[in-house]
Amino acid sequence: MRMLNSALLITTGCACVLISAGCASSPKNDKAAASVRRASTDLHLQSRALNHTIHALTNLVDSSPRDLKQPLEQYEYALENLYDSVERTENSVQRMRRHTTAYLDFWNQQLTNINYEVVRSRSAEREEAVRSELEFVMERYVETREAMLPLLAYFEDIRKALRTDLTAGGLASVRPIAANAVSNARKLDTALARMIRDFTGSAARMSSVIVPGVEPLTPTSDDAPTAQPAEAALR
């Protein structure tokens, strides 16, 4: 199996990616907003790569081509792109964390310099609200990433099986397994779509450029990714 960047395999827990949307503009908030937009873009590209992998696998196992070599190559190409996209997204999120933490530090410094209690209290309330929102967004990212890893292993096992037994019989043997992989991948893509929406909204809320119609994030209990790990899907 192709090895992913070791950072992907470390559970980050409830990482505090903290972004402001209500304080005075500063270079740090716009720089942080740009890093969140970059992460959102890479999440979108990851979703696209996942869908290309789904399409290539479905085409391989369901279209029954006469020559299996070309559709297998297309599946392998799509899977490699998915690996690259997952790593690129992780790098973007780590960069986003650094920039947003720097902005949080700046915000805290400003709190200590505010003389009037009522102003300081309101700003501290905003900080706490933003903290809660972005912690939720980061938790969702970690959960989705952890669901992606076993799915990648599942896709990889299908590739290994077909590399060894690229025959009509080999294809028939993995067809139900591939169907489970596709089902899980589509569930995960739904979670990715929600996460992209929240990252995009968070970037808009922290930017000094006002975006009309952007509402505060409202976490819901059904937003967690529902893709099963590979072991569960095989049962």
pTM given for the model: 0.80
Contact 20, 127 (CB under 8 A): yes
Bigger pLDDT: 80 vs 206: 80
Vertex 175: Cα angle to 174 and 178 (nearest 5): 80
Q: What pLDDT sits at residue 211?
A: 60
Q: What pLDDT sits at residue 1?
A: 54
Contact 153, 1 (CB under 8 A): yes
The CATH number, out of the four listed (1.10.730, 1.20.120, 3.30.930, 3.40.720), of the domain defined by the range 26-234: 1.20.120
**Start-to-end C-alpha separation, the chain:** 21
pLDDT-derived band at 218, boundaries 50, 70, 90: low
Other CB atoms closer than 10 Å to residue 216's CB: what's the count?
Answer: 11
pLDDT-derived band at 136, boundaries 50, 70, 90: confident
Vertex 141: Cα angle to 14 and 189 (nearest 5): 155
Extents of the domains making up the chain: 26-234
Round to whole Å and give the CA distance between 82 and 88.
Answer: 10
Residue 178's closest CA among 61, 48, 56?
61
Residue 155's closest CA among 85, 90, 89?
85
Mean pLDDT, residues 77-98? 96
pLDDT-derived band at 222, boundaries 50, 70, 90: low
Question: What are the tokens at 12?
Answer: 């980050």
